[in-house]
Structure 1
Amino acid sequence: MHSYAARRARLLAHMPPGAVAVLPTAPEVTRNSDSEYLYRHDSYFYYLTGFAEPESVLVLVAARGSEPACSILFCRQKNLEREIWDGFRHGPEGARAAFGFDAAHAIEDLDGEISKLLADAPALYYALGSAVDAQVKLWLANVRRMARTGVTPPASAVDLLPLLDEMRLFKDADEQATMLRAATISSQAHARAMRASRPGMYEYEIEAELLYEFRRNGAQAPAYNSIVAAGANACVLHYSANNAQSRDGDLILIDAGCELDGYASDITRTYPVNGRFSAPQKRLYELVLAAQSAALQAIIPGLPYAGVHEAAVQVLAQGMLDLGLLNQDAHGGIADIVANKSYLQFYMHGTGHWLGMDVHDVGQYRDTAAEGKPSRPLRADMVLTVEPGIYVRPAEGVPEEYWNIGIRIEDDVLVTPNGHTMLSAAAPKTVAEIEQLMQQQ
């Protein structure tokens, strides 16, 4: 509870005296007929509240004069009959006491109460261009109707999300502990999948091993749709069918991570379904592993975020030449391959992204305040993924021994004051580690 209150206080400190911020949680979504998708709160809302119930809105009012800052929750009322069907509800008073709000009201009272709060407020902060726009128009119209009493509506509307994005980019100690636990659970799930795999298994059978390990260890859900890709399917970056049968000699690429207490993990491992890398598979795998090692060495506070990708590309480009995937006569040397982006034939995505409450988490990758918008420098308490890969589709001039091999290696990394630490270190990664583990089938 203390962490959420501290975050609210930090946000309020960025707002001018008397300004009001409004932040709703996510709506429930119908799956089909009268069935709904498993509910998942809005990340911004949860970041400031820790409150996971639907039909909820947070309102913050910055201090002004002798009036202190105030955090107000609007949520569902207690309803014992609905709780029989749908489960426990805190209700306004219970939520206020449990989550440290200054006040709480029934969600039905939102329109009336907020019109009063917006009277004479200098600014309104909310997610501009979102579904809240329509409600904001109604609220401002209500305030204007109060003009005869001498009050005025907010003079400006400010986008709330950029402020929260910058806050969320830096993880506090509680967040780091949760993300380490999530990454550890996911690492154990990847190891379980490796031990269970054997030729002839369907991708969904291997996926079931992951899901079991997630839930067995207390994770609430996958952080995203798991990718379990056998053989040529691994060359499809966002493969999702997970219904093919593996064959002896296939590599299995698994991109999967759990969500724990609102925070995502994101790990990819690639391994031979029969427990032994072939020589061509091993050569490509060691290349991707070397690219990741180079990228990790670039994770130092003060160095640019873009340097992580650049380091990986240098190693991959050299490897593509060494292994004959690219031809020096046709593509030139390393500098030419990088400048002309010839490597995109086999490596067509970035080397990572921010990680946090969302698997592709919020935060700018460039310093938008600086001239030219250069890559922003890495800072302690950022969390990012590092995920180089190589994907070889059949093509003229490409050695056939590498055809239909897709490899990605991805880890979750916390930037520390002196470098970085690997949150997903428990997931087997080297050829020796993987082959040794798979002998335990």
Structure 2
Amino acid sequence: MTLASLHSSEFIARRQAFAKQMPNNVVAFIFASSQATRSNDTEYLFCQDKSFLYLTGFNEQDAVLAIEKVNNQVKSILFCLPKDPLQEVWHGKRIGKDNAVKQYCVDEAYDIEEIDAVALELICDKSVILYRQGHNEMHDEQVMHWLADVKACARQGIKAPTSFIDCQPIIDEMRLFKSAAEIEVMKQINHISGGAHQRAMKACADGVFEYQIEAEILHEFAMHGARFAAYNSIVAGGNNANILHYNDNSARLNSGDLLLIDAGGELAGYAADITRTFPVNGKFSDAQKTIYQLVLDAQNACIAAVKPGVSLAELNDICIEVFTPKLVELGLLSGDVNQLIEEKACKKYFIHGLGHWLGLDVHDVGDYHIENKRQTRAFEPGMVMTIEPGLYFPADNHEIDAKWRGIGVRIEDNVLVTDQGHENLTQNVPKSVADIEALMASN
């Protein structure tokens, strides 16, 4: 399988689109990530700042992108680590400024050591500086240091910028709408991640440990080109499923329990975010099947409603309308159904949001237009989101019948808004009771 990737023209177009939203006679600075220390002299695997990556495709640490706009003429300038034979022996090859211009199609590139001098020239006589204010304290200090240097040149007739613009909202809004190339990458990482969930279902058995199932998932990611998981995998057997961000993944799986897996790979920086819940022994009990089918019915109803103009707030209403009467029927809620819907009483068991934007980050950037705690932004083509209803009944909840205790179910797919409606990108992972049991019985 040929892995999807993004051409340099994609990043050029993004920088041009960003520059169009900049006022004239300004300069913008976007900073890359630095290497993070794990312990003593060992580091975490490097993860590039996703907004920097979005505008450059450049995946080295401690870089800076400057975009200058003067007389409506735009110039992109990349500052990066210099070529250094000794450092490269220890830490790997660097692109260097000469190759950066060729490979990343920026107008100019400099060694990062030159940034103070070049930034002084870029800021001089500009009216505004754009950067991501408050994103990183060290970056804030760096910009203020450059500004102070420019102000020190006032006697030479040089004017300093008089205002700042936080450019993060501009980038966030751009990232919310996926191009055709981005969608292709996201389809592929969903397919790879779906294969990992299938593998987990097949590997599941009484006595296996959660971390062993996690290993199966990570193996499937890597063997199909997804070097990294997009986030720490949740592999939660039995009552552990009622811990939303459980990732100890250390418990032994027991026949008769459910296993909830929330896991997705990362490809070219883009995340999948998929959840499936299934029986350890391959066969749902009656109680498990009842709760599982209710969550699946709610998810199917919500996904079916996705189209331009609809909002997550409206989908959440649909989910509540599916959950509430059935929970009353099962004796898990009591009272008038309409009033319980109005009160959102099912949130006693449905304890998280219905979904979130998805892209370069798992919980991706983008304004939700929150009104009265409701996500009212209308969907538009090119948006990608998760749809993930869940119901949770902790083992120590003695207010409910014993048969429900310890059951936690979440089902999550990744959904693209299209011109006509939607496309479910998570297509190769079984989620009906019959399909899950059939796959697990095929081992």
Displacement of 1:374 in angstroms is: 7.1
What is the CA–CA distance in structure 1 between the aligned matches of 2:31 and 2:127, rounded to whole Å?
Answer: 21
* Residue of structure 1 equivalent to 2:4: none
Secondary structure (helix, strand or coil) at the match of 2:144 reads helix
Give the direction of change, closer, same or farther, for the CA distance of 1:367–1:388 in structure 2 (3 Å limit): closer
Displacement of 1:401 in angstroms is: 0.9
User: Structure 1 residue 192 and structure 2 residue 199: aligned?
Assistant: yes
Displacement of 1:317 in angstroms is: 1.3
Displacement of 1:367 in angstroms is: 6.9
* Residue of structure 1 equivalent to 2:381: 380
Is the contact made by 1:390 and 1:408 (CA closer than 8 Å) also made in structure 2? Answer: yes
Secondary structure (helix, strand or coil) at the match of 1:357 reads coil
* Residue of structure 1 equivalent to 2:36: 29
User: Structure 1 residue 164 and structure 2 residue 171: aligned?
Assistant: yes
Secondary structure (helix, strand or coil) at the match of 2:392 reads strand
Secondary structure (helix, strand or coil) at the match of 1:243 reads coil
User: Structure 1 residue 345 and structure 2 residue 348: aligned?
Assistant: yes
What is the CA–CA distance in structure 1 between the aligned matches of 2:311 and 2:432, rounded to whole Å?
Answer: 27
* Residue of structure 2 equivalent to 1:70: 75
Is the contact made by 1:414 and 1:422 (CA closer than 8 Å) also made in structure 2? Answer: yes
* Residue of structure 1 equivalent to 2:216: 209
Question: 4+ residue runs of structure 1 moved beyond 4 angstroms?
Answer: 371-374
Secondary structure (helix, strand or coil) at the match of 2:346 reads helix
User: Structure 1 residue 18 and structure 2 residue 25: aligned?
Assistant: yes
Which runs of 5 or more residues in structure 1 are unaligned? none
Displacement of 1:55 in angstroms is: 1.3
Displacement of 1:343 in angstroms is: 1.2
User: Structure 1 residue 80 and structure 2 residue 61: aligned?
Assistant: no
Displacement of 1:210 in angstroms is: 0.3
* Residue of structure 2 equivalent to 1:423: 425
What is the CA–CA distance in structure 2 between the aligned matches of 1:402 and 1:139, rounded to whole Å?
Answer: 61
What is the CA–CA distance in structure 2 between the aligned matches of 1:397 and 1:80, rounded to whole Å?
Answer: 66
Deviation readout 1:339-367 (Å, 9 max, x if unpaired): 32321221111110000000000001117
* Residue of structure 2 equivalent to 1:355: 358
Secondary structure (helix, strand or coil) at the match of 1:38 reads coil
* Residue of structure 2 equivalent to 1:294: 301
Query: Residue type of the partner of 1:288?
Result: V
Q: Which piece of structure 1 moves more, 401-410 or 309-318?
A: 309-318
TM-score by length of 2: 0.95
User: Structure 1 residue 117 and structure 2 residue 119: aligned?
Assistant: no
Which runs of 5 or more residues in structure 2 are unaligned? 1-7
Displacement of 1:133 in angstroms is: 1.2
Query: Residue type of the partner of 1:401?
Result: K
Q: Which piece of structure 1 moves more, 281-290 or 77-86?
A: 77-86
What is the CA–CA distance in structure 1 between the aligned matches of 2:116 and 2:329, rounded to whole Å?
Answer: 66
* Residue of structure 2 equivalent to 1:138: 145
Query: Residue type of the partner of 2:410?
Result: R
Deviation readout 1:203-253 (Å, 9 max, x if unpaired): 111111001001111112111110000111111111111111111101000
User: Structure 1 residue 128 and structure 2 residue 129: aligned?
Assistant: no
Is the contact made by 2:312 and 2:375 (CA closer than 8 Å) also made in structure 1? Answer: no
User: Structure 1 residue 403 and structure 2 residue 392: aligned?
Assistant: no
Displacement of 1:321 in angstroms is: 1.0
Query: Residue type of the partner of 1:296?
Result: I
Secondary structure (helix, strand or coil) at the match of 1:77 reads coil
Q: Which piece of structure 1 moves more, 165-174 or 301-310?
A: 301-310
Query: Residue type of the partner of 1:345?
Result: K
Give the direction of change, closer, same or farther, for the CA distance of 1:362–1:196 in structure 2 (3 Å limit): same
* Residue of structure 2 equivalent to 1:93: 98
Alignment root-mean-square deviation, CA: 1.5
What is the CA–CA distance in structure 2 between the aligned matches of 1:424 and 1:88, rounded to whole Å?
Answer: 36
What is the CA–CA distance in structure 2 between the aligned matches of 1:89 and 1:27, rounded to whole Å?
Answer: 14
Give the direction of change, closer, same or farther, for the CA distance of 1:189–1:372 in structure 2 (3 Å limit): closer
Displacement of 1:338 in angstroms is: 2.6
TM-score by length of 1: 0.96
Identity percentage of aligned residues: 44
Secondary structure (helix, strand or coil) at the match of 1:62 reads strand
What is the CA–CA distance in structure 2 between the aligned matches of 1:95 and 1:271, rounded to whole Å?
Answer: 48
Is the contact made by 1:256 and 1:266 (CA closer than 8 Å) also made in structure 2? Answer: yes
Is the contact made by 1:13 and 1:62 (CA closer than 8 Å) also made in structure 2? Answer: no
Is the contact made by 1:214 and 1:222 (CA closer than 8 Å) also made in structure 2? Answer: yes
* Residue of structure 2 equivalent to 1:439: 441
* Residue of structure 2 equivalent to 1:58: 65
Displacement of 1:64 in angstroms is: 1.2
Query: Residue type of the partner of 1:76?
Result: L
What is the CA–CA distance in structure 1 between the aligned matches of 2:194 and 2:63, rounded to whole Å?
Answer: 34
Deviation readout 1:249-273 (Å, 9 max, x if unpaired): 0100000001111001000000001
What is the CA–CA distance in structure 2 between the aligned matches of 1:208 and 1:29, rounded to whole Å?
Answer: 24
What is the CA–CA distance in structure 2 between the aligned matches of 1:322 and 1:164, rounded to whole Å?
Answer: 47
Is the contact made by 2:313 and 2:374 (CA closer than 8 Å) also made in structure 1? Answer: no
Displacement of 1:373 in angstroms is: 9.0
Query: Residue type of the partner of 1:398?
Result: I
